[in-house]
Chain A
Amino acid sequence: MIENKGRPNRLGLKGWLGGGRWGFERYLYTLHRVTGLGLLTYFVMHIGVTASRAFGESAWVAAMGAVKGPLFSVGEYLVFAAFAFHALNGVRLGLVELGFAIGAPIEPVYPYRTSVDEQRPLAIGVMILAAILAIVGGIGFLN
């Protein structure tokens, strides 16, 4: 994280709730953080559960038995959907970070245009892909 040398983030967590003039991409920012925290929580638990294989077959079978059932299946699907969103939005962020899909520099002539307008098609495109992946994955989980 680059140190903020300008105005501090005064809104704190409340800033996650409203997109303001940043609109769609600001909600993607919030969802990226929420899914990231969810995936990290799952990952820490996943390390704990899968480490049981070091103790042999009976420990592994017991661990797998402890995470079976409809509640865990729904949870697993939510993790998959979070992964689909986080991964594809992460690709978008990486592309924008490297200067792709933000448009060429233009003269600041009124009415001003921001690069957010240029980024919008990419944001919409990756969200459609994420939705397709989440739906296809959902069909897989139901089967």
Chain B
Amino acid sequence: MRDQELWTWHIGAGAVILVLLGLHMTVMHLEAIVRVFNPAPGEPVDWANVVARGKSVFFLVTYVLLLGTALFHGFYGLRNILFELNPGPATKKTLSGLILVVGLALFVVGTWAAWVGFTVARGA
């Protein structure tokens, strides 16, 4: 894929992150005002609230979407910073491959954890 297209996706991912991370911050830090996402008493990170959110298909989908967009945005940004330091063509290719592998591995781990959390919460 051409870099121009990747750059456009980078900006688009930033807009998606702005919305989804705004929602995440609201859920995790504005629980005193917006209680609907945390039905159990206590903190948003208390297990009962984690299970309550974990049952929701909406949270499963938005977690995975946020995970994917944030990983792409972050690792593509890292690649840009490294490429600005003028590495040679071979180093660029190695860095691109390494960043792709690490990004995909983290996406698999995060998606697996979200899915297992969802099935555990549904079974609870």
Chain B residues with Cβ below 8 Å from A132 are none
- Contact of A43 (CB < 8 Å), options: B7, B74, B117: B74
Q: Which candidate, A19-27, A49-57, A108-116, A121-129, is the interface stretch facing chain B? A: A49-57
- Count, chain B residues at interface, CB 8 A: 38
Please classify how large the interface on chain A is, using the bins under 10, 10 to 19, 20 to 34, 35 or more. Answer: 20 to 34
The complex places the Cα of A47 from the Cα of B109 at a distance, in Å, of 8
Residues of A within 8 Å of B15, CB to CB, are 94
Contact in complex: A51, B45 (CB < 8 Å): no
**DSSP class of B's interface residues: helix, strand, loop or mixed?**
helix
Which residues on the A side are within 8 Å of B79 (C-beta)?
1
Contact between chains at B47 and A61 (CB < 8 Å): yes
What residues on B are CB-neighbors of A1 within 8 Å?
3, 6-7, 79-80, 83-84
Q: How far is the CB of A143 from chain B (nearest CB, A)?
A: 9
Does residue A138 face the partner (Cβ distance < 8 Å to B)?
no
Q: Which residues of A contact B (CB under 8 A)?
A: 1-3, 8-9, 12-13, 33, 36-37, 39-40, 43-44, 47-48, 50-54, 56-57, 60-61, 64, 80, 83, 87, 90-91, 94, 97, 140
